Structure formats: structure tokens, C-alpha cells
Structure 1
């Protein structure tokens, strides 16, 4: 919740400002080149090295427009990109959220079914993305099984090279479990649900991709000098598709300026600036968390810790796991954590423009709640502190008893603070409890649907049915039973109350001092039947 709240506040408190991008067109002997200005050390810039002064932008425009320019540097490097490592549970959950809108719990259930019921996938609750040499040796059997289960991948299987050995086949990097991959069992005779098939094919395709060569791109960077100002043009040219042929349309390409010519064919030259435009842009806050980015943040939680010592302590926890760095939760618990958070009234999930997945935010009450808590609780700092202490226990420098004692002391301190200072949370549109007049009615989920109850429960046990999102205060819970002025409890002296039984027309008498006094009598002609004695 702390991570979600910090991101929510960053958006709410964002102060909109502007920055300026200068885009120029330069004419050289081989054609025109589009390039963007790179601010210098003397320019007014923000933390992302973006020009923040409109006056500076206008001055650069006046200085360089239609002026001589020269190409001062060209550098082209081949970038080889191997197929992604096979899935662990977190990366599978993230992919399912991005591509199909699944919650974290959905792929967990689906992959569990494919593992336990159908025996088509390996153990799912894994945090590792590596495989062993034995998996490499048995790859042909797995590929045959994939062909039987997902015939749509047959062409992809035939296009691969089983002799290629991807870096994923490295037993030294396997933790408690290896990556999630298909088993050697064919599912040709098994009927899978559409969602089960979707998850199986995601895992299967990631395995098939391991036997494709790397994709290769020529990355070109060209620098232009114009009146002492630097402009840069970039270009990416794919020279070999490799494994990316399996993911056409699924890979996001880098945004680059469109060029009229191939920058790889350009040499140092002199020319002229033809145009120089100023683009005024608004700054934007960091994006809200969605399910996939929240899962990713949980595997890299250490980066949200400001203290470098604590950050290093949390990162050290995952030093033997290349897939995580300072994580919170585990592969087995993250889906449950998010499911619980999604049902928390302090969190909202909503569909918003510009987001493919639902956006996670804290409500005003959630923000107030987080503000009341110590910083070490709403940030991953406590996880780091515990990691330090657990490491000390493993090293023999501390004990479990000392660790638990420290926790007890910390909790006692926080509880004492709450008892002394209270918890000043503001409840908007508060509906006071009609019975105790102290608490407030809050909406709760029951096995028969929503209802409203006093937040002072169990001190106050009043409850009311839900009526289109509001409490129905005309419920039987709003007692209209009269307290007798003539019949009293001989045990405590308080007046008795005549109450209706479940059976129509039947009544009984109870003490108004309930629950401290539990005296009850049968009804006899509108009076307590004392001759018959107390009800048992």
C-alpha cells in the first residue's frame, strides 16, 4: 500500500511545468537529416537534462536557424539481443496482465491447473528464470510435446535450431526451483479452457524462442555541430530478426526521428540548417501503478528505499537470485497480497484513459492512513531491517529470540503512541451509529451480501441492511421494543423487555442489562412467567 500511496501522491501533488525540445532539419550532400538539440552544461535544464527556459530555446533557435552545420561524429554498433529468459511466476503474471488484463491471481490459478491437473507445465511458484543442462538435453522431447499440445506453434518449432544453447541453460543460477517450462507430456488429447491454452502457449513460445538466434540491430548515432550547439540523430536498423520473428507486433520499438536516408551511409560532411522548430511540452508525473508494474516493483522494491545502507541490505537478500533484487513478498504470496489489497476500501482500481490495465490508487482515507504510519512501515525499509537481522541470525551474530523481542518492543512502542495520541482519521460523509451515537456505520461484506455495521464492534453490535449503497436505518436493529416499567430483573434490578420470538405470536422476556445479565423468562399473558422459572 505504501508504494501505491507514494505513486498516488506523486500524481496528485505534481506541479505542471514545461520543457522545450528543439528539432532541426539539416541539409547535407547526401540528403536531409533530422536531429534534436542536446542541452549544454550552461543551459537551464531539469533533472532529466531537458531545456526548461523558453528564452534559452528562442535564443538557440535564432543562433542556429539557417546557419552552417557539420557532421562531427558517426558511430554504428551492432546490438545483439537474445530471446528473453523463460518465465518465472512474476514475469508470467506481468505478461498476462499487460497482454490479457488478467489479475495476478488468474495466471497463478491457471498455471497451477496446468501443473497439477493436466501435468503440462512444470512447478509454477518459481522465482527462477534459468534451466539446467538436463533441460537442454531433453529439449527435443519438450518441443515434441509442445507440437502436440499447441499445433499453432509447429512452424515456430520447425524454424528453430535445437543445437543452439541459450544463456538460460545455466544450472549454477537455479535457486530452489527452475523456470516454468512445458513438460514432456503432450496435451493433444486434453481439452484446455481458452485461458489455460493462452497461458500454456505463452510459456511454450518462450521455450521455443530459446532455440532461435539473437535479433540484431545496427544502432547509429550521428552528431551535428551548429554554431557550437550539438544536435543528435539516431537510427535503428534491424539486420536479423532472430527470435523476434515469433513476436511480431508484440515488441515495442524505440521512438526515433524519421530519416530520409540511411544514417549508416553518411560520412562527415558540411551543410546547412534548413529549419529549427521549438516544441513546448508539459512535464508528466510518474505513471500510476497497474497490476503488471506493481508486480515488477515488488520484485525490485529496494530501489524505493532512500537509505543506501538499507537498500543494499534488502538487495543482498536476493544476491543469489538474478531475477529479483530487494524483493518483497514471494512468488507464492504476491498474488494473494494484491488480491487482498484490491478488496481494501483504502485502495481503488479504476479504468483510466492512457492505461491498458486498471490503475491502482489510494483513496483520501488511504492517504490519511499512510500519513499516520511511520515512514519505515509504508516504505520497504522495515523489510530491509528485517533482512539485516535475519542475516545476522544466519551468521550467528544474533538469535531468533532477540529478533522477536525487538519486534515486541517496536509494537509496544507504536501501540502506546496510538493509545496516547489517538488516530485522527477524518471520515467524510460520516453516518453516525444510531445505537451508540459514538461510532460510525461502515459498509461491510457478508456471506449474504453487503451490510452496514458500527465501527466500534464488538463494543457496539448494531447492524443494518444495505439499501442501494446506504444503510437502511428502519431495520429491526433499530429497536422499538419498550422497556417495562413494572417488571424488573430480581438478579440485577434492571427492567425487563418483552421480545418477539421467531415464531409469530410468541414472545419472551429478557433483561435490559444483557449481555452482562442473561436472565430470560417465557411469556404468560403479556407478563414474564416467573412461576415456570428462568429459560435455559
Structure 2
């Protein structure tokens, strides 16, 4: 008997639909016509054991019992899904062959692997396990996936990476939450100080941003613009901007902006009614390829900008589009590329979209499926690919506004792969006027290409209309500067985080890393958390009363600020956690080992526990509060029971 183990019932039913009938549908599994069985987990049905499961004395929080580091890690059944675990145990024992059908990502790989390992099956049986990767729940896609089973052992690094992350979150969250809570209690703070490997550095980003805004002092800076004509007494043809020389740097800020008005005024006087020589001229045709299809984070960022949707709402909508409507592929993806094999379905998908009554029909009719963009790259594919529309028609499917908006965003990002590049002519000139260097540039659109699918806003159109053009010029040509103009501007404070910018900060965390050595190691794609977990982490900080919203702005609450101010800097900066995330990625790519991650992490947690015992939490309020579920008001909470595992 073959046993297919899916991650969720919806996936299990989709698999069964592609397998021999008749079916006998049971609550916990589906028996197939050929004697095989499809069953499922219900999300996580096992969890990391609690400290008291290792030692009953650890139920009481004591500083002297920290750090808690299990010698032999244990999992325990989640009570609400224990019956499903019992059924799976029986089915695994009966099965001659097991097909792992977890979701196609790091967590999905571990979720089913750990269930199979929990049953202690033989090495021989384990070596024969196959991996079924499904990213589209429609019948043709499932049938194709069933013909492409792979050895589950090929995905062991992905599972080990997820296991390391799970244990790291436990070690970090359990030990540091207990340590800091116990220290907080000494100063009268009567609530849990929840600390997490990812959530705390993320909260630290928000707190520091608000602190920067609070202490910001705007300062004036000055620019000089030259108004130029081809000859004396002709109308002004274009303008050029002064570039301060090295000699001016003592009067500039770190970004090269002139802070001394008299210096700029002097330049204005010097260039009035003076000849201007074209010292350099560059004109190049440039091409801009279509943006890649979405992964989850980029979709969340775009939806936040365009529709003000928060990360969790976008993820929930995607899950509905994937599981219920079957209109998109697997959404919890961190990949923006597609396998070349998918090109076989491209024409069918585009034709389906072209026949629909949705606004995507005309863009689909204009798509050229013979074009192959850089999105199709097998070397960039791991367990899953970018989020794209499926072959299923959206006709006669009732979508709410959120679902329709997200679906059309995904569709557009897929269709642009079949449009030509955006082409423009970029011209840049340098001029010498009274010994000063001035620069002017212009862009002329030659082919709209894929940008035809992204209509410009009225604001953008107005800006384009105001953009200057440059007359035909040659190097060495003498022009006339009719006059100089002084422009006084003022520096602006940093902006509060929004859903879009906070997600962007998490995905490109290297920009916020302070340690130069770590910054050098990290790439822009190494971030805090994963595409699948970021929405949950942000939502968790709101639920714990650490973050709040003011319109689109996300700011820290008084409790959130107090927590960051009380913690040692190491726990609130993204440096350490960002580097750990990079190592987790390296493990999944076979470029690092489990021990290379866990050993230094355990050492760091031990050091941080000791540091917490020396830390003063005098700045915390004497009484802390926790928001009621779904409410804006608060109720008291004591610190007597252990904190849940945090992210």
C-alpha cells in the first residue's frame, strides 16, 4: 500500500482527485480504488517539548536553571490533533511505500519529515520515501506532479534547515524570555517580557526609527541651477545642476549637500551671463527587462503600497486563492523564478486569461508567449517557484475585492514576462561654467514594452510632462548661461515604517546591519524571518501590544519602547539574527551544517542569559498590560506561566 501524507486536508483531497477511483472518504484519510491511501497532517501536529517535559522542576522560572539546553531534543503531540497523529501512526506502519506531500517549502518539508521520524520507521523504509512537490492544486498540475516524484532524501538539507530554525527559536525564546522577565520582576514589572530571535530585532528597528524621527532637526541646504540657452538672447532651452567640487566639501554634509548659503550665492553670481562649455556628453540606449514574478514578500510589499493591505491579510487572501479557488500556485514562496518546464503551460494560461472578462483579458491578448524572459531559470529553483496564475479560468468564480486585487496583481506580474523590454535613450551632459561643473540629463522613451501594463498615475504623468528634453549638442560646444538660480531646500526626517517598508526592511535587512563585517557577508535577499513567517511575526508584535498603527504608519507602543530600551543592544539589533538567517539558507543549499549553526547559537544564548542577569530593567513601568484578543483595551497579565515559543 502506498501512503501519501499531505500537509493539509485540502492538499490531500487534491492529490486523491488525481488517483484511482472509487474513493472511500473518511474523516482522517481517503482510501483509493487501488488500495492506496491519502492522509494528511492538519498543519503542525507535533511541537517542541516544553522545558518541564524534560525536567518537572523547570516549570518554575528560576534564573539559576538557565540556560535550558536539551541534550536530546523531544517533540510532543499537539492535543487538538492527537487523533490524526494516531491514524497516521497506524497508516505508516501498514504502508509499503510512503510519499511525502508536504508543502513545497522549508517548513512543509520538516512538518511531514518530523511526523515520519516520530514513528521510528526502519532505515530501509525511510530510504524509499518519495517526495511529491505540488504548487498548483488543479487536477492537470497534480497529475503532472505525480509523474515527477523525487527521492525525499534529496530534500534533507531543507528539512535540517527548518529543524535548526525551530530549535533556535525555542532556545532563544524560552531562555531569554525567562531571563529578562525574571529581571523585570525584580524592578516591579509584573508581566512577561516576550523576546524572540526575529521579533525583538524587528521591534528594535521600529523603535529606533521613531527615536530618529523624534530627535531629527531639519537643516537648510542649497543647490544652484544654471538656466542655459544655445546662444545669447535666445529662450532658455534647459537647466543644469551644480556639482560641488572637492574644495567645497568642508561646507557640505555627509551626502554632499551644501550647507553654507554664501557659498551657493557666490556660485550664482559667478555664472550669470557666462559661457558654458559642453565638457562631456554621453547618450546611450538602455533596456529595462520586465520585473520578475512575485514571491510572497514582494507581493505583500506591492499590495501594501497599492491597496494598503497588511502582510497577514495578503497571505490569507493568497491561501484562499490557492486552496479554495485554485487560481494561483503555492503562495508561501521565497522564489521569483520559474522552471523552464513551466513554459509548456504558458500558452494555455495566457489563452485562459485572454478569454476571461476580467481586466487582464486585453493584456493577455497582447502577450507574446514566444518571448522567454530571465524569469525562467532552473538554476534558481529550489523546492518551489514564483507565484503565478494557474490554468484554471477565473470565470464564474466569485472573488471579493481583496481576492480580485491580489489575483490581478499576480496575473499582471506573470503577463509582463511575455512583453518586450522597455527601451529609452539616456543622455547626460557635463558643462563647465566659470570653473564650476554642472550636469544635466534627460530620458526619451523609445519603446514602452512591458510598462504598458503599468499605467502611470496622474502624479507620474505630470512629472513626466515637466521633465526637460535636451537639444542636439556636441562635445566642446559653447552655450550661454543666462543666469544662476539659488534653490533653498530642507532635509526631511525619516518616515515611520509602513506595512510595505517594514516588509522591505525585513527582506533587505543588510541595510540596517551596523557591523561592517556582517554587512559584507549578507546579501539583500538575506533577511529577518522567511517569506512564510514574516506576516506572522509582524502580526505577533501587534497582538502582544508592542506595535500600533496611526493610519498607514506603524509605530512602537510605550511597552514596546520600554522593552527595547531595557534589553541589551545585542538582543535588539538585526545583526546577529540576520547572519543566522543567512546560515539557515546556506544549510538548505548544502553550504553549511546543522552544527555550524547550533553550536555558536547555543554559546551566544548562554552569554546573553548571563548578560541578562547583570542588566537593569529600572526603566520599565511597574505594571504591564496585555491587549485582550481583538480589542484595543488591556488587561493585566502575570509572569507565572512560561511563555510560548516565539519567533
Q: Distance in 2 between matches of 1:35 and 1:158?
A: 43
- The match for 1:220 among 417, 423, 427 is 427
Q: Distance in 2 between matches of 1:85 and 1:210?
A: 8
Question: Deviations along 1:420-449, whole A, 9 cap, x unmatched?
Answer: x4x11254xxxxxxxxxxx53746415898
Secondary structure of 1:72's aligned partner = strand
Q: Distance in 2 between matches of 1:326 and 1:24?
A: 44
Question: Deviations along 1:322-344, whole A, 9 cap, x unmatched?
Answer: xx522111111111111122334
| Cα gap change, 1:417 to 1:239, in 2 (>3 Å) | same
Shift of the alpha carbon at 1:411? 4.4
Contact 2:350 2:367 in 1 (8 A): no
Does 1:27 find its partner at 2:229? yes
Question: Deviations along 1:58-84, whole A, 9 cap, x unmatched?
Answer: 111121112222222221111201110
Q: Specify the alignment match of 2:267 in structure 1.
A: 60
Secondary structure of 1:42's aligned partner = helix
Does 1:37 find its partner at 2:245? no
Q: Specify the alignment match of 1:523 in structure 2.
A: none
Q: Specify the alignment match of 1:497 in structure 2.
A: none
Does 1:276 find its partner at 2:479? no
Q: Distance in 2 between matches of 1:98 and 1:297?
A: 14
Secondary structure of 2:398's aligned partner = coil
Q: Distance in 1 between matches of 2:572 and 2:536?
A: 19
Shift of the alpha carbon at 1:233? 1.2
Q: Specify the alignment match of 1:332 in structure 2.
A: 532
Q: Distance in 1 between matches of 2:402 and 2:603?
A: 46
1:290-305 correspondence runs (5 A): 290-305=498-513
Contact 1:89 1:124 in 2 (8 A): yes
Q: Specify the alignment match of 1:100 in structure 2.
A: 307
Q: Distance in 2 between matches of 1:57 and 1:400?
A: 54
Q: Distance in 1 between matches of 2:323 and 2:639?
A: 42
Does 1:162 find its partner at 2:366? no
Secondary structure of 2:440's aligned partner = strand
Q: Distance in 2 between matches of 1:261 and 1:444?
A: 57
Q: Specify the alignment match of 1:412 in structure 2.
A: 609
1:473-488 correspondence runs (5 A): none
Contact 1:33 1:260 in 2 (8 A): yes
Q: Distance in 2 between matches of 1:50 and 1:451?
A: 47
Q: Distance in 2 between matches of 1:27 and 1:314?
A: 48
Secondary structure of 1:85's aligned partner = coil
- The match for 2:572 among 348, 371, 378 is 378
Determine which structure has greater relative contact order: mean sequence separation of CA pairs < 8 Å that are 6+ residues apart, divided by chain length. 2
More deviation, 102-111/251-260: 251-260
| Cα gap change, 1:169 to 1:95, in 2 (>3 Å) | same
Q: Distance in 1 between matches of 2:519 and 2:469?
A: 47
Q: Distance in 1 between matches of 2:346 and 2:453?
A: 18
Q: Distance in 1 between matches of 2:453 and 2:293?
A: 14
Contact 1:34 1:257 in 2 (8 A): no
Contact 1:311 1:384 in 2 (8 A): no
Structure number with the higher helix fraction is 2
Shift of the alpha carbon at 1:5? 1.5
More deviation, 325-334/141-150: 141-150
The count of residues paired between Structure 1 and Structure 2 equals 430
Contact 1:389 1:398 in 2 (8 A): no
Q: Specify the alignment match of 2:359 in structure 1.
A: 152
Q: Distance in 2 between matches of 1:444 and 1:161?
A: 53
- The match for 2:547 among 340, 347, 350 is 347
- The match for 2:561 among 367, 374, 390 is 367
1:113-132 correspondence runs (5 A): 113-132=320-339
- The match for 1:440 among 623, 626, 641 is 623
Does 1:46 find its partner at 2:253? yes
Contact 2:441 2:470 in 1 (8 A): no
Secondary structure of 1:191's aligned partner = coil
Q: Distance in 2 between matches of 1:74 and 1:105?
A: 49
Q: Specify the alignment match of 1:7 in structure 2.
A: 209
Q: Distance in 1 between matches of 2:469 and 2:599?
A: 69
Contact 2:510 2:522 in 1 (8 A): yes
Shift of the alpha carbon at 1:132? 1.2
Q: Specify the alignment match of 2:128 in structure 1.
A: none
- The match for 2:619 among 425, 433, 443 is 425
Q: Distance in 2 between matches of 1:347 and 1:256?
A: 38
Shift of the alpha carbon at 1:350? 0.8
Secondary structure of 2:388's aligned partner = coil
Contact 2:419 2:449 in 1 (8 A): yes
Shift of the alpha carbon at 1:293? 1.0
Secondary structure of 1:71's aligned partner = strand
Q: Distance in 2 between matches of 1:382 and 1:365?
A: 24
Question: Deviations along 1:23-76, whole A, 9 cap, x unmatched?
Answer: 121121486221111111111222221111111111111211122222222211
Shift of the alpha carbon at 1:236? 1.0
Structure number with the higher strand fraction is 1
Q: Distance in 2 between matches of 1:449 and 1:301?
A: 31
Shift of the alpha carbon at 1:303? 2.2
TM-score (norm 2): 0.62
Q: Distance in 1 between matches of 2:630 and 2:373?
A: 51
Contact 1:20 1:278 in 2 (8 A): yes
Structure 1 stretches of 5 or more lacking a match? 316-323, 352-357, 428-438, 460-536
Q: Specify the alignment match of 1:491 in structure 2.
A: none
Contact 2:545 2:627 in 1 (8 A): no
Q: Distance in 1 between matches of 2:479 and 2:597?
A: 72
Q: Distance in 2 between matches of 1:386 and 1:94?
A: 23
Contact 1:34 1:259 in 2 (8 A): no
Q: Specify the alignment match of 1:483 in structure 2.
A: none
Contact 1:220 1:263 in 2 (8 A): no
TM-score (norm 1): 0.74
